[in-house]
Amino acid sequence: MANQRIFLWAALALVGWLLYDAWMKDYHPAPSSTPAASSGPQSDGPAPAQPPGLGQTAPGLPSTQTPAPGTTTLAPTDVPAQAPVDAGAGAVRVVTDVIDVDISLQGGEFVRQDLLQYAKRKGEPGLVRLFERRSGAPEFVFQSGLTSGTAGNQPDHLARFTAPATEYQLPSGQDTLVVPLTWTGENGVTVTKTYTFRRGRYDVPIAYEIENRGTQPWRASSYLQIVRDQPEVDRSMFDPESYATAGPAMYDGKKYRKLDIEDEDDRNFSGTVTDGWIGAMQHHFVAAAVPAPKQPYTFNLNVQNRRFQLTAVGPPQTVEPGGRLVLSEESFAGPKLQEQLEDVHPELSRVADYGALWFLAKPLFIALQWVHNVVGNWGWAIVLVTALLKLLFYPLSEASGRSMAKMRALAPRIKNIQDRYKDDREQLGRAMMEMYKREKINPLAGCLPILIQIPVFLAFYWVLLESVEMRQAPFMLWIDDLSSRDPFFILPLLMGAAMFGQYKLNPAPPDPVQAKVFAFMPIIMTVMFAWFPSGLVLYWLTNTVLSIAQQWRINRVVEAAAKKQKTE
């Protein structure tokens, strides 16, 4: 029957698309506050020069060419080249209720950051670590500073700073912790670089207080920079997490953009952006830098091998002799908690990357979060939101269910028509359509709920995969992590049994081949879902059970109505 064929092809198309997408990823080759006014005269001047390419001294990366003697490759407003941390520079350790971070006194770099509330693996020792610089490990650091174009005499991420203390800890009962670093130049310029840490927060505002006690105007640009070694990820269709977005990303003031370090255009990206941000993505966590609002920043991505350096350089600022200037920017390094991300920048929550169906996934997450705030369990939130979705689509599902119930009741008559016209397909189709019209049955009604559920299913998939709020979240009994697969494959087996029950409840396809394929679909889906996040399997199981209950009730109503009509 037409609706059975459409249902079959829709289901097979979903399975085929997921398998094809997994195969392609496995084997296909990869192609906050505005700056305060200065107490002295200030002029913005022209925009900074574009950073040089990798053939020269790339900001934050070692040179790939040796300059000729007596020459320099550092442009007046370039960010200085990467250099190893001075072992004697020392570091300041800062501990709050949520992070433990080392800030190098060489430039104020964030060279290590542990997330105190996020275990690397549930039930095992070891915390999630974002920034890191140590021998033998992939490097991941956050750099910031001021560049004046005078190499060796500017407060950049290679300059030596001093700090009043080497350890800071957020005291109980206190919500804010201020960590100042100071740099003094040979030209009478003093810069106090202040990091502000807050209780429960992963964003860290950065402020530069510049005082020019010299006799000449001092001109500099602030910059934010993320340097990271991006290891290759072994993609596996049996590990959905391996497909989570990783690598550099940015918001250009208008749209969110993921940058591919293996794409030739992205590798050398450069552009001027206002009200944007830059970031380094990984599954569930992100490090981002947010420039000052309403200021044009030059964004650059430079790549060498699998190391990328993403930079945002602000407009030049001039501090006259005797003048003072305060600049403010912001960093974020932590879990992709969407409320905090939106506090930092209205578009920073895009790093919770829900893919092409974000317009469906975002409302789904909001609904899940609202229900979770009431029930306190993400598993029950999934069950209740699934029930709400079922209720929302009930009118459409009811019309579909009535058509399915009527077709089930008409199965003997359909079989007679098929036997009568088995050698004349044209006459068979005409007779079937006449019967559908006479009995007021829509043969396409059965597939509409399935077609609607496919994008909702995919959106749910990305919500469960990408939302850190559900990372390692327990449900009940043996399900202690909704973002990973069921360790005992019980939920997939229950889902398969429910799908088989749904198949038996619906009218059997008259075509023997279709009937066999439909009978095997629960097995196919069970095997595929066995490796999906258990939260997603819980959603599909709940949806199937509710569909069975709904169809069973509709079948009883239709059968009762048919019996009543016969007696009359």
Compute the C-alpha angle 441/444/445, nearest 5°: 70
Any idea which of 195-204, 343-352, 519-528 has the lowest mean pLDDT?
519-528
Residue 381: partners with Cβ closer than 8 Å, 6 or more residues away: 368, 369, 371, 372, 375
Residue 370: partners with Cβ closer than 8 Å, 6 or more residues away: none
**311 and 438 fall within a common domain:** no
| pLDDT of 354 above 90 | no
**343 and 392 fall within a common domain:** no
**148 and 282 fall within a common domain:** yes
The pLDDT score that the predictor gives to residue 547 is 83
**312 and 385 fall within a common domain:** no
- Band of the pLDDT at 141, cuts 50, 70, 90? very high
Q: Is residue 67 part of a domain?
A: no
How many beta carbons lie within 10 A of that of residue 182, not counting itself?
15
Angle formed by the axes of helices 534-567 and 512-529, nearest 10°:
150
- Band of the pLDDT at 533, cuts 50, 70, 90? confident
Q: Is residue 144 part of a domain?
A: yes
Residue 543: partners with Cβ closer than 8 Å, 6 or more residues away: 386, 389, 390, 453
**337 and 482 fall within a common domain:** no
Any idea which of 157-161, 354-358, 409-413, 462-466 has the lowest mean pLDDT?
409-413
- Band of the pLDDT at 268, cuts 50, 70, 90? confident
Judge contact between 284 and 335, C-beta under 8 A. Answer: yes
Q: Which helix (H) or strand (E) holds 454?
A: helix 448-466
Closest listed residue to residue 30, CA positions, set 227, 349, 361, 303: 303
> What residues make up the domain containing 294?
86-230+243-353
- Band of the pLDDT at 306, cuts 50, 70, 90? confident
Angle formed by the axes of helices 394-409 and 411-420, nearest 10°:
60
CA 22 to chain centre: 18
Closest listed residue to residue 305, CA positions, set 61, 78, 132: 61
State how many domains the chain has: 2
Query: What does the buried/exposed string (b/e) look like for 417-444 if buried means 16 or more CB atoms within 10 Å of the residue's CB?
Result: beeebeeeeeebeebbeeebeeeebbbe
The pLDDT score that the predictor gives to residue 45 is 47
**387 and 309 fall within a common domain:** no
The pLDDT score that the predictor gives to residue 394 is 72
Any idea which of 30-34, 64-68, 207-211 has the lowest mean pLDDT?
64-68
**525 and 467 fall within a common domain:** yes
Q: Is residue 311 part of a domain?
A: yes
| pLDDT of 344 above 90 | yes
Q: Is residue 182 part of a domain?
A: yes
Q: Is residue 317 part of a domain?
A: yes
How is residue 109 written in tokens?
Answer: 């770099």
Per-residue pLDDT tens digits for 203-237:
999 999 999 998 899 999 999 999 999 877 666 55
Sign of CA dihedral 529, 535, 538, 539: negative
The pLDDT score that the predictor gives to residue 368 is 92
The pLDDT score that the predictor gives to residue 106 is 92
Q: Is residue 408 part of a domain?
A: yes
**434 and 488 fall within a common domain:** yes
| pLDDT of 281 above 80 | yes
| pLDDT of 471 above 60 | yes
Q: Is residue 74 part of a domain?
A: no
Q: What CATH number has the domain bearing residue 153?
A: 2.70.98.90
Contacts 24+ apart (CB under 8 A), 109-112: 109/85, 109/133, 109/141, 109/142, 109/143, 109/157, 110/141, 110/142, 110/143, 110/331, 110/333, 111/85, 111/141
**382 and 345 fall within a common domain:** no
The pLDDT score that the predictor gives to residue 190 is 94
**135 and 193 fall within a common domain:** yes
Residue 465: partners with Cβ closer than 8 Å, 6 or more residues away: 240, 241, 243, 244, 483, 533
Domain termination site, one of 320, 353, 386: 353
Any idea which of 10-14, 162-166, 225-229, 441-445 has the lowest mean pLDDT?
10-14
